[in-house]
Amino acid sequence: AQRVTQPEKLLSVFKGAPVELKCNYSYSGSPELFWYVQYSRQRLQLLLRHISRESIKGFTADLNKGETSFHLKKPFAQEEDSAMYYCALVQGAQKLVFGQGTRLTINP
Amino acid sequence: EAGVAQSPRYKIIEKRQSVAFWCNPISGHATLYWYQQILGQGPKLLIQFQNNGVVDDSQLPKDRFSAERLKGVDSTLKIQPAKLEDSAVYLCASSLFLAGFNGEQYFGPGTRLTVT
């Protein structure tokens, strides 16, 4: 069965330090992966999708099929990056399977 | 554009009672989803509609949960009777129907259900 694993429930880093949120997946075939983010008191929203290879708010994520990973990275963390981050995998027709999420806290 | 609307925002009920949630998706979005998010977990899909037809309800506990999307717009999710383990946030989301799904679902604010 397709599955998304985010091994860290909590991650705390200092402002200006690099950030890496881990995501591993199990999927047979070519996966489509995404990162969603939920800021405090806001709705869950799409942050970035692997297929577009974009950088949003300084975040990037590279799909590594050999390691079945899709880690989210940012070289210099900012306080406004504090949020819940969810990795998600497309399954079937427009269906997303979410990981359990990582709460990122950026300390000043 | 207006976002996905949900009501109520909060609901507290006793076990064995019934409850209903309402969702109004973004205008023009053919696909509508209901998710259950238990504290400390990611959203879990309960049911997916394409217009007014069900695409996937494999994880919907059909002995107590039901959902409908009459006329392919608004949707309601009902729980009857509720159990303690149903305490969660219920999220509604919608997306455009695209031949190549781009992964973007638009989420509502959620309804926080507490069953006592």
Average pLDDT of the residues of chain B = 93
Cβ distance A90 to B43 less than 8 Å, yes or no, reads no
Give per-residue pLDDT as tens, B42-73.
999 999 999 889 999 999 999 999 999 988 89
Beta-carbon count within 10 A of B89 CB: 16
Whole-number Å distance between alpha carbons of A99 and A55: 21
Give per-residue pLDDT as tens, A20-76.
999 999 988 888 899 999 999 999 999 998 877 777 899 999 899 899 999 999 999
**pLDDT value at position A10?**
97
B 45-74 near A (Cβ less than 8 A): 45, 48, 50, 55-56
For B96, which residue in chain A has the nearest alpha carbon? A94
Mutate to test the interface with A, among B31, B32, B45 (most CBs of A within 10 A): B45
Cβ distance A45 to B102 less than 8 Å, yes or no, reads no
Please check the confidence at residue B100 and state whether its pLDDT lies above 70: no
Whole-number Å distance between alpha carbons of B31 and B77: 15
Please check the confidence at residue B87 and state whether its pLDDT lies above 60: yes
Which tokens belong to B3?
């976002």
Chain A partners within 8 Å of B91 (Cβ): 44
